[in-house]
Amino acid sequence: MLSTDQIGRQVETPASPQRIISLVPSQTELLHDLGLGERVVGITKFCVHPEAWFRTKTRVGGTKKVDLEKVRGLKPDLIIGNKEENDKSDIETLAMEYPVWISDVRDLPSALDMIRRVGELTGTSPKAEPLAQAIGSAFASLGNLEPGCSVAYLIWRGPYMVAGGDTFVNDLLNRCGLTNVFADRIDRYPEITARELAAADPELILLSSEPYPFAEKHFSEFNMICPGTPVRIVDGELFSWYGSRLLRSAEYFSGRLFV
């Protein structure tokens, strides 16, 4: 079967792949929720959901450093990765030996497109299509929120890094009615200084729970940089995992627990 991935590559895949490796945590969870079970033979060390898979599936390294020999040992007939999360050289090497399908998710519509395409790719469209529709409906129920409160969304510390404009996180911030003060940066995840954060003067600072494990102990650090600005910890998975977890994201955003 000839499939087109989200970066426009033509990929020859089996009509019903039986030995799938996922190189992206959010897409691993999606494969589970599509009912692929034993057909998924390999995941990364960051694929923590579902927990049962994390404990029992073979781990083929990380998202940025794939153990190529472990992959070869699993003899996959389909590898599913992502343009942003996986190392380009790893993907190019694997694509010479196996069918490698790559997603490129930068907003909610492309996430829904990915879910539908993975359903077609794995023969699980009867589950993927209703899932995509449910996620779309859940976000639509948030209403047409007007951009209001300005925010800085921190993903890393030492150095500070934030979500820029051309990111999935930025799209979800906008859908929450929030305006990203670093949306105009050229880099997708720019490094910033404390002085730049202070100059941006956000009305709210959001500290993501991943990839850096921000916690309340970091509040005072940001209170020093932006005195008087509220600081909140947010669930990073619900802002950046673009698979089936998006159903939970819509519910989380509707509560606006982070404002």
Query: CATH assignment of 2-105?
Result: 3.40.50.1980
d(CA 183, CA 173): 10
Q: What is the largest CA-CA distance in the chain?
A: 58
CA neighbor of 111 nearest in space, from 154, 74, 82: 82
Q: Is 138 helix (H, G, I), strand (E, B) or coil?
A: helix
Query: CATH assignment of 150-245?
Result: 3.40.50.1980
**Cis peptide upstream of residue 50 (ω within 30 degrees of 0):** yes
Q: Contact at 8 Å (CB) between 169 and 151?
A: no
Whether the per-residue pLDDT at 148 is higher than 80: the answer is no
d(CA 245, CA 235): 12
Tokens of 17: 């792949």
d(CA 96, CA 163): 33
Whether the per-residue pLDDT at 34 is higher than 80: the answer is yes
Whether the full predicted model's pTM is greater than 0.85, yes or no, is yes
CA neighbor of 204 nearest in space, from 150, 142, 135: 150
Residue range 100-147, pLDDT digits in tens = 999 999 999 999 999 999 999 999 999 999 999 999 999 998 866 666
Residue 108 CB: number of other CB atoms within 10 A? Answer: 20
d(CA 224, CA 226): 6
- Higher-confidence residue of 145 and 233: namely 233
* Start-end of CATH 3.40.50.1980 domains in the chain: 2-105, 150-245
Q: Give the pLDDT score at 144.
A: 60
Which residues, in sequence order, are CB contacts of 171 under 8 Å at separation 6+? 106, 107, 108
Residue range 42-53, pLDDT digits in tens = 999 999 999 999
